[in-house]
């Protein structure tokens, strides 16, 4: 029995009424199987409100889906929780674009939930927004260490002093000819 298949007969009889749907559901039960992004047994947390209107039922709320992956910059394992905003319209007679059909008195939330889970779990995640990544020269993780591979840009004030002859023996270019 799919808990995302909701009998909405009571809602449809009474426009203006609403109902809350809160549940957790193994991703495998909605055919979301992607070992690169979800651990086996991962569950989506569903918190939705179904509001009955004169011409259909609006479903609003949020999904939270734990994901796993490999940081695209530092290549370390990373994970997080994807939050999806849900805003869908279900109609007996579909008149709005993107509305789902109510068949019998049943709302099948499965396709919408599956689509949002697949869409919002990142495929090329970052371990954190400012991940510094790996040094392209020596491969160290710049989040943890620093290396001397890339010479720091020379401070322009030092260059100015040098030009004035205020510093000697600092440059590496020698005396020339």
Q: Which of 96, 92, 94, 90 is nearest to 109 (CA)?
A: 90
Q: What's the min distance (Å) between Cβ of 73 and Zn ion?
A: 5
Q: Which stretch binds Zn ion (CB under 5 A): 12-20, 42-50, 63-71, 168-176?
A: 63-71
Q: Which stretch binds Zn ion (CB under 5 A): 14-22, 65-73, 82-90, 161-169?
A: 65-73
**161 is a site residue for Zn ion (CB under 5 A):** no
Distance CA 147, CA 31 (A): 46
**146 is a site residue for Zn ion (CB under 5 A):** no
Q: Which stretch binds Zn ion (CB under 5 A): 30-38, 47-55, 146-154, 163-171?
A: 146-154
**127 is a site residue for Zn ion (CB under 5 A):** yes
**112 is a site residue for Zn ion (CB under 5 A):** no
Distance CA 14, CA 18 (A): 9
Burial of 125 (0-12, 13-18, 19+ CB in 10 A): buried
**149 is a site residue for Zn ion (CB under 5 A):** yes
Distance CA 39, CA 33 (A): 9
**Could you tell me which residues come within 8 angstroms of residue 81 by beta carbon, excluding any fewer than 6 positions away?**
64, 65, 66, 67
Find the binder of Zn ion among 5, 9, 103, 147 (CB under 5 A). Answer: 147
**138 is a site residue for Zn ion (CB under 5 A):** yes
Q: What's the min distance (Å) between Cβ of 130 and Zn ion?
A: 9
User: Burial code of 87-103, b = ≥16 C-beta within 10 A, e = fewer?
Assistant: ebbbbeeeeeeebbebe
Find the binder of Zn ion among 27, 48, 74, 113 (CB under 5 A). Answer: 74
Interface residue list for Zn ion (CB under 5 A):
71, 73-74, 127, 131, 135, 137-138, 147, 149
């Amino acid at each position: 029995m799919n808990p995302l298949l909701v009998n909405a007969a009571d809602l449809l009889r009474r426009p203006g009424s609403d109902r809350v749907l809160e549940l957790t559901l193994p991703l495998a039960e909605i055919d979301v199987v992607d070992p690169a992004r979800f651990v086996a047994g991962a569950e989506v947390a569903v918190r939705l409100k179904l509001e009955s209107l004169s011409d259909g039922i609006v479903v609003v709320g949020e999904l939270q889906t734990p994901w796993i992956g490999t940081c695209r910059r530092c290549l370390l394992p990373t994970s997080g929780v994807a939050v999806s905003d849900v805003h869908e319209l279900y109609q007996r007679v579909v008149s709005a674009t993107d509305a789902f059909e109510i068949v019998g008195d049943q709302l099948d939330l499965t396709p919408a939930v599956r689509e949002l889970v697949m869409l919002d779990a990142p495929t090329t995640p970052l371990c954190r927004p400012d991940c510094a990544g790996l040094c392209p020269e020596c491969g160290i993780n710049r989040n943890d260490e620093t290396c001397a591979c890339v010479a720091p840009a020379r401070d322009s004030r030092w260059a100015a002093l040098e030009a004035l002859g205020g510093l000697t023996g600092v440059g590496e270019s020698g005396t020339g000819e």
